[in-house]
Structure 1
Amino acid sequence: MENISFQSELPTAIRVDLGAIFVSLELSRSTWLITSLSPGGGEKMSRHVVSGGDVAELMNLFDHIRKKAHSRTGCSFPIVTIQEAGLDGFWIHRVLEANGIESHVVDAASIAASRRRRRAKTDRIDGEALVRALLAFKRGEPRVCAMVRAPSPEEEDRRRVCRERKVLIAERVEHVNRIKGLLFAQGVSGYVPLRKDRRKQLESLRTGDGRPLPKHISAQIERELDRLELLLEHIVAVEHARDAMIAVTKDVMTTASTPAARLCALKGIGAEFAAILWGEGLSRHFDNRRQVAAYAGLAPTPWQSGTVDREQGVSKAGNPRLRTTMIQLSWLWLRNQPMSALTGWFMERVQSNDGRMKKSAIVALARKLLIALWKYVTFGVVIEGAVMKTA
Structure 2
Amino acid sequence: MSPFFDASRSLTALDQDSTLVAVIEMSQTKWLIAATVPGFERSPLKKLDADPDSVLRLLRRWRSEAIQAGREVRRIVVAYEAGRDGFWLARWLQARAVEAYVIHPSSVAVSREHRRAKTDRLDTELLMRAFLGWLRGEKRHCSMAAIPTINEEEARRPNRERDNLVRERTRIVNRIKAILARFGIRAFKPNLRKAAEKLEALHTAEGMPLPERSRAELRRNLGRLHLLREQIHEIEQERLRQLSVVPDTEKGPLAMVRLLSRIVGVGIETADMLVNEILTRPA
**Both proteins in one fold, TM over 0.5:** yes
Query: Which residue type is aligned with residue 28 of structure 1?
Result: S
Query: Given the superposition, is the C-alpha separation of residues 205 and 97 from structure 1 closer, same or farther in structure 2, using an over 3 Å criterion?
Result: same
Q: Deviations over 1:166-194 (max 9, x none)?
A: 21112212222222333333333322222
Q: Does 1:198 align with 2:198?
A: no
Partner of 1:47: 45
Q: Could you tell me how far 1:64 is from its partner in structure 2? A: 2.1
Task: Kindly indicate whether the alpha-carbon contact (under 8 Å) linking 2:39 and 2:71 is maintained by their aligned counterparts in 1.
Answer: no
The residue number in structure 2 matching 1:258 is: 255
Structure 1 residue runs without a partner (length 5+): 1-14, 287-391
Q: CA deviation at 1:132?
A: 4.1
1:164 to 154, 161, 164: 161
The one-letter code of the counterpart of 1:235 is: I
CA distance in structure 2 between the aligned counterparts of 1:80 and 1:261, rounded to whole angstroms = 40
Q: Does 1:21 align with 2:20?
A: yes
Report 1:252-291 matches (<5 A).
255=251, 258-286=255-283
TM-score of the two chains, using structure 1 as the length reference = 0.61
Contact 1:90 1:150 in 2 (8 A): yes
Q: Which runs of 5+ in 2 are unaligned?
A: 1-13
- Tell me the amino acid that sits aligned with residue 205 of structure 2: G
Is 1:218 the counterpart of 2:215 in the alignment? yes
Deviations 1:333-361 (A, max 9, x none): xxxxxxxxxxxxxxxxxxxxxxxxxxxxx
Q: When the two structures are superposed, what TM-score results if normalisation uses the length of structure 2?
A: 0.82
Q: Which residue of 2 aligns with 1:302?
A: none
Report percent identity of matched pairs. Answer: 36
Q: Would the aligned equivalents of 2:38 and 2:71 in 1 still touch at CA under 8 Å?
A: no
Code of the aligned partner of 2:143: A
Deviations 1:294-333 (A, max 9, x none): xxxxxxxxxxxxxxxxxxxxxxxxxxxxxxxxxxxxxxxx
Q: Is the 8 A contact 1:260 1:278 kept in 2?
A: yes
Residues in 1 aligned to 2:177 and 2:16: alpha-carbon distance in whole angstroms = 69
2:176–2:218 CA contact under 8 A, matched in 1: yes
Aligned residue pairs total 269
Partner of 2:84 in structure 1? 87
Structure 1: distance between partners of 2:217 and 2:110 = 52
Match of 2:54 among 18, 38, 57: 57
Amino acid at match of 1:151: P
Q: Which is greater in Rg? A: 1
Checking the alignment, whether the CA contact within 8 Å between 1:246 and 1:275 is kept in structure 2 is no
8 A Cα contact 2:20 2:73, kept in partner: no
Q: Distance in 2 between matches of 1:133 and 1:184?
A: 51
Q: What code does the residue aligned with 1:24 have? A: V
CA distance in 1, matches of 2:110, 2:209: 63
**Partner amino acid, structure 2, of 1:47:** L
2:146 to 144, 149, 155: 149
RMSD: 2.9
State the 1:269 CA deviation: 0.4
Cα separation, partners in 2 of 1:20 and 1:226, compared to 1, 3 Å = same
CA offset at residue 248 of structure 1? Answer: 8.4
**Letter of the 2:172 counterpart:** H
What is the rounded CA distance, in whole Å, between the counterparts of 1:255 and 1:132 in structure 2?
A: 43
Q: What is the CA–CA distance in structure 2 between the aligned matches of 1:34 and 1:50, rounded to whole Å?
A: 8
